[in-house]
Amino acid sequence: MAVRVKICGITSPEQAIMAQQAGADALGLVIYAKSSRYVDIQRAAEIRAVIGPQTTAVVLLVNADEATVRQVIDQVQPDLIQFHGDESPAFCQQFDFPFIRAIRMREGLDIDAEVAAYRADAGFLFDAWSEDQYGGTGHQFDWSRLPSSRDYPLILAGGLTPDNVASAVSLVAPDMVDVSGGVESSPGVKDQGKVATFISNAKQAQPKSPIV
């Protein structure tokens, strides 16, 4: 089964339509004001309106307060929330809403403990560590740190591009790959050719070992 592809940092309805036509399985909308791909709740709702039922709509939040999370769920109506900050397991679970938990790969991280604590049924997204950025760094981490067997959906992010995504799929065998800056012509502006090539290269790649 081909890996699923998430295009994150969509900033307009036109980009959302383009990415879907290219074969994206999921689209990410970033409601985090410090991101160069930030959209507010109203804009996110406008983009959400053009995301079809065959495509998973994900809203990425970073350390948002409870009221904001509930507003996003109510007004944007995403399929999933992606908690990408320092949110506690209790905070993420209180909404009774499916979520992805982002794990930033800092040194000494106990992946098994993080997975056990958050119990994110929609999966865990592994991203590069940065002291001052919550994702979107364009940096790659050491993929060999990831477990070769797991009982949860694994989403690979961090420095992926059309050039390296096939290697990533082959080596890691993720359930999904996530890209933002790697398919852009400038921050927040997706490049149609890069998006199409990324999706094609990801889906044609063959994992070296079966997904467990």
Q: Please report the sign of the dihedral spanned by the C-alpha atoms of residue 34, residue 78, residue 16, residue 124.
A: positive
In the annotation, is 92 catalytic? no
Active-site option among 8, 25, 92, 178? 8
Q: Residues 19, 4: contact at Cβ < 8 Å?
A: no
List of residues 6+ apart from 99 with CB closer than 8 A: 80, 81, 82, 83, 92, 120, 122
Residue type present at position 81: I
Active-site option among 25, 92, 127, 178? 127
- Taking alpha carbons only, the member of 60, 58, 29 closest to residue 43 is 29
In the annotation, is 127 catalytic? yes
DSSP assignment of 136-166 equals -------GGGS-SS-SS-EEE-SS--TTTHH
Using DSSP's 3-state secondary structure scheme, residue 45 falls into helix
Cα 79 vs. chain centroid, distance in angstroms? 13
Looking at the annotation, which residues are catalytic?
8, 127
